[in-house]
Amino acid sequence: MKKLLVAIFFLVIVTTTVMASPVDSYRLRKANSYILNGQAEQAEAIYNDLHLNKPYMPYNYGWLNYVKGDTSKATELFEGAARVAPKGLAANSLYNLGNMNFEKQDMPKAIDYYIKALKNNPKDKAAKYNLELARIMASLTPQQKKQQKKNDQKKDEKKEKQKEKQKKQAEQILNSFKDKEQKDFRTEKAQGAKKQHVEKDW
């Protein structure tokens, strides 16, 4: 489910039109790009330095805390954003809350948040899709859920093995290049020594 969650989370960068200062706008975009790259500390430093009191900041801080792994703080901030942010951003906040509960396998809460998100943005295809998916997951028997979890784990394990294999292949290629370089270096050194020896004999 992690793959699904990453693919369906929103990070909305609401900066240029709302902010007075182009410098602040640039810095906020920079902080958001740090979050997207998993660099939460750099993003947090910029957010704290900006001291912005805008309706989208609880949303951005929610994202920041989610990336840092503090889901309870992220939940609190997304809920705050859903109350004060403009309708579109409120919908995204509720959608993310749905995803967080989906990840925790709390389907009733996920369904509730997706429905609220759709009330704010009825055209949101991703929220509609996730709502249906959450309803399907909620209707599965415990045995089916267990089987689904096993299937997901097997897929994750397979991907990890493929990554490990690719890493080993890359290391082998690198090592073969290093060996070749060392061999070439020794050959050049030996040829240089021979030339010097020949020149001395002349």
* Per-residue pLDDT reduced to its tens digit, 99-144: 999 999 899 999 999 999 999 999 999 999 999 999 998 988 778 7
pLDDT value at position 164? Answer: 83
Domain that holds residue 133: 2-139
* Residue in 121, 14, 106, 103 with CA at minimum distance from that of residue 60: 14
pLDDT of residue 97 exceeding 80, the answer is: yes
Q: Is it the case that residue 16 has pLDDT exceeding 90?
A: no
Q: Are residues 27 and 104 in the same domain?
A: yes
The Cα-based distances of 25 to 29, 65, 185 in angstroms read 6, 21, 52
Domain final residue, candidates 139, 158, 184? 139
Task: Compute the distance between CA of residue 202 and CA of residue 184 in angstroms, rounded to an integer.
Answer: 27
Q: Which of the two residues, 189 and 199, has the higher pLDDT score?
A: 189
pLDDT tens readout for residues 71-88: 999 999 999 989 988 888
Of the three residues 139, 155, 181, the one that is the final residue of a domain is 139
- Residue 137, both tokens: 């997951």
* Domain identity same for 46 and 121: yes
Looking at the structure of the chain, the number of domains it has is: 2
Residue 7 is encoded by which pair of tokens? 């693919």
Residues 129 and 168 in one domain: no
- Do 111 and 93 lie in one domain? The reply is yes
Q: Which domain CATH number covers 46? A: 1.25.40.10
Shared domain check, 149 and 53:
no
**What residues contact 106, with CB distance under 8 A and at least 6 apart?**
none
Residues 73 and 104 in one domain: yes
24 and 55 co-located in one domain: yes
- Positive or negative CA dihedral for 165, 169, 172, 174? negative
pTM here is: 0.61
* 110 and 164 both lie in a single domain: no
Domain end among 86, 106, 139:
139
Taking phi over 0 as left and psi of -120 to 50 as alpha, with beta for the rest, 54 belongs to beta
Same domain, 84 and 169: no
Instruction: Break the chain down into helix, strand, coil percent, rounded to 5.
Output: 80, 0, 20
- Same domain for 123 and 73, yes or no, is yes
In a shared domain, residues 78 and 131: yes
Could you read off the pLDDT of 23-45 as tens digits, one per residue?
777 888 888 888 888 888 998 89
pLDDT for res 1? 40
Note the maximum CA span of the chain: 94
Whole-angstrom Cα distance, residue 152 to residue 155?
Answer: 5
Question: Which token pair is 187?
Answer: 């050959």
Percent of the chain residues topping a pLDDT of 90: 26
